[in-house]
Amino acid sequence: MNTQIARFNMVEQQIRTWQVLDTQVLARLSQLERQWFVPTAYHALAYSDTEIPIGHGEHMLPPRVDARLLQDLGLQAHEHVLEIGTGTGYLTALLALSCAHVTSLECHADLLAQAQQHLQRADIHNVRLLINQGMPQQLPAASFDAVVLGGSVACVPAELLALLKPAGRLLAVVGDEPMMQTTLVQRQTDGTGHSRVLWDVVIPRLHGFAQTPAFHF
């Protein structure tokens, strides 16, 4: 496989056509070797528009979904980001290329170890990887400019808003099959959140969050 051509086709045929037009986002996707983050058995699918199994019932999201999430976060170079659900580290790497620092949480130790290797191979070092099951318990309040969830949840956990700085934002895919919606929540000065639905997509559940009580906006 000619990865340079495959990456070009992924960007032009999958990502641009999914309303991802931010030039910086497209540049990140064009420069990052996605096959480095894909299990060896699925290297032939590294640039395909499909979910890829990575073990423990987890999947890599299609590239167009990662690209759209990255675009909608609108990250700035100085910002600090919390990612929940590291997986293989591909979205982690895209985030890290777009901001000052990423803290990423993963509930499976073997996936976390693999993600660390993948990030090192990509020469990405502004990431802290932590093992964590479900809701973060020991992270300081108001320490992140943005939070992104790497899988779907039935509802947005209210506790995550406390991790955002004032005016920080959280991006999550919310709902139940067959109807899920990518939702952007911005923290208000009083600690509540203002939510806005952006686009529809169905992705696998984020482990440890399916039964979290709803936050009512």
Map out the domains of the chain with their CATH numbers. 3-200 (3.40.50.150)
Looking up tokens 């809701």 gives 135
Tokens read off for 199: 């686009």
At residue 36, the pLDDT reads: 97
Asked if the model's pLDDT at residue 212 lies above 80, the reply is no
Tokens read off for 58: 């987890």
pLDDT tens-digit map of 81-126: 999 999 999 999 999 999 999 999 999 999 999 999 999 999 999 9
Asked if the model's pLDDT at residue 213 lies above 90, the reply is no
* Sheet order of strands, 164-176 included: 127-131, 101-106, 80-84, 144-153, 164-176, 179-187, 193-200
Q: Exposed (0-12), middle (13-18) or buried (19+): which is 140, by Cβ within 10 Å? A: exposed
Average pLDDT estimate for 142-166 = 94
Share of the chain above pLDDT 90, in %: 87
Looking up tokens 């777009």 gives 98
E strand spans, 30-118: 52-55, 58-60, 80-84, 101-106
Report how far residue 44's alpha carbon sits from residue 103's, in angstroms, rounded to the nearest whole number. Answer: 30
Report how far residue 61's alpha carbon sits from residue 204's, in angstroms, rounded to the nearest whole number. Answer: 9
